[in-house]
Amino acid sequence: MEVLKPWESRGRAVALDSTTLQAKGGVWHKKDKEADKVPHSSIDTEAGWTKSGWHGWVYGWKLHLAITVSSVWIPLSARLTPADVADNQIAPVLIEELPDEARFVLGDTHFTTPKTYARSASKRSAFWSPPNVGPTRTPTVGWR
C-alpha cells in the first residue's frame, strides 16, 4: 500500500460491495437439492441461490469485495462464496483484513449489522451505510 499510496490525495475510505456470478452448467433446483438428487453432471453442487435486485434469481456464486475509494480502485480484501451467503456475514471478515490506514468503510444496507459496526470500530474506522430508503418491494403492497 505504501508504494501505491491510494489515499494520498483523497480521504481514507473503503467501499464494500458484492456481485453475483452465475454458475456454469445447469441449476440445482430446491426440490432436487432437498431430495439430494443431482439431475445432471454439469450442476455445480457447491453453488447457491440468491435473488438480485438487478438480475432476479441467480444460481451461482457471490464475489464480495472491499476496495479503495480513490482515483484508482484497488481491491484490499475479497471473498468468493456461494450466492446464498449474505453480505453482512462476510463484511466483518473483509473489514478485519483492511489496512490500518482505512478510516471510513462504506457499504449499502445489505452490510449493516451490529457485528459490522463493531468490527469497523475495532479497526478504528467508521462504518457508514445509507438509511434504508427508496423503492422496496413487499409481497402484499408492491412497489412503494
**Mean per-residue pLDDT of the chain:** 84
pLDDT for the residue 132: 63
pTM of this structure: 0.79
pLDDT for the residue 138: 43
Phi first, then psi: what are they for 15, rounded to 5°?
-110, 140
Q: Name 77's Cβ contacts closer than 8 Å, sequence gap at least 6.
A: 65, 66, 93, 94, 95, 97, 98
Top-level CATH class of 13-143? alpha beta
Condensed to tens digits (0 to 9), the pLDDT of residues 120-142 reads 888 888 888 877 655 544 444 44
Question: Can you tell me the distance from the alpha carbon of 129 to that of 42, in angstroms, rounded to the nearest whole number?
Answer: 39
Identity of the residue numbered 93: V
